[in-house]
Amino acid sequence: MRHIINSTYISLDGVIQDPQDWPDNGIEGDGTGMKVQTELLFGCDALLMGGRTYPGFAPAWMARSGDPFSDRMNSMAKYVVSSTLTDPEWNNTTVISGDPIAAIRRLKEQPGQDIVQYGYGPLTTTLIREHLLDEMQIWLHPLFTGDTEPANLISHDANEAKFALADVRRFDSGVVILHYQPA
């Protein structure tokens, strides 16, 4: 059975919103962070998104090509849980409407590589509640953003769930990747 792996960037003050706008903290300086992200992406053959992630990801990635990461992101199967998106522009994108839990269970049962989900929002909360999330990779960044509006935090409407620490990876920049699995 395929696994769903969530990869989320988070600041010390719990913010997950707009990590592309955070100050450069050196994670990409030696290419190690990108190598880790590339290994994750190439270990998966599908991308699962919520309705809030798709509008940011689609235009950003559709505008990129010519490097292995962008080409993989653009060519792989993409699934968006949304009740409003009807005509996705990003190639290989399927909209999951109706009963997303049943659809995601079927995705997990299909043959293939794992499924990656970037960011944290209502879809992640649902995956945790329904015991469909197999791993969380929390990229803890050593900074405070100061933007602690509830909608920008990792979870302001969470379920009770327990995770076990499976691995830790440190970068010279101070970023730490915490790998968790449901306990």
Amino acid at 46: A
- Residue range 48-81, pLDDT digits in tens: 999 889 998 999 999 999 999 999 999 999 999 9
Domain 45-155, CATH homologous superfamily name and number = Dihydrofolate Reductase, subunit A (3.40.430.10)
| Angle, CA of 3, 154 and 41, to the nearest 5° | 35
The highest-confidence range among 61-70, 152-161, 168-177, by mean pLDDT, is 61-70
- pLDDT, residue 78, reads 98
Please answer whether residues 181 and 134 qualify as being in contact, where contact means their C-beta atoms are separated by less than 8 angstroms: yes
What is the rounded CA–CA span in Å between residue 37 and residue 121?
Answer: 20
Q: Where are the domains of the chain?
A: 45-155
> Dihedral of CA 131/132/138/144: which sign?
negative
What is the rounded CA–CA span in Å between residue 63 and residue 77?
Answer: 17
pTM: 0.92
CA 2 to each of CA 21, 45, 63, 161, 163: distance values in angstroms, whole numbers, following the listed order: 32, 10, 29, 21, 19
Instruction: Describe the strand order of the beta sheet including 176-182 as a list of residue ranges.
Output: 93-96, 77-81, 44-50, 114-118, 4-11, 135-141, 176-182, 163-170
Question: E strands along the chain, which residues?
Answer: 4-11, 44-50, 77-81, 93-96, 114-118, 135-141, 163-170, 176-182
Where residue 23 falls among pLDDT bands split at 50, 70, 90? confident
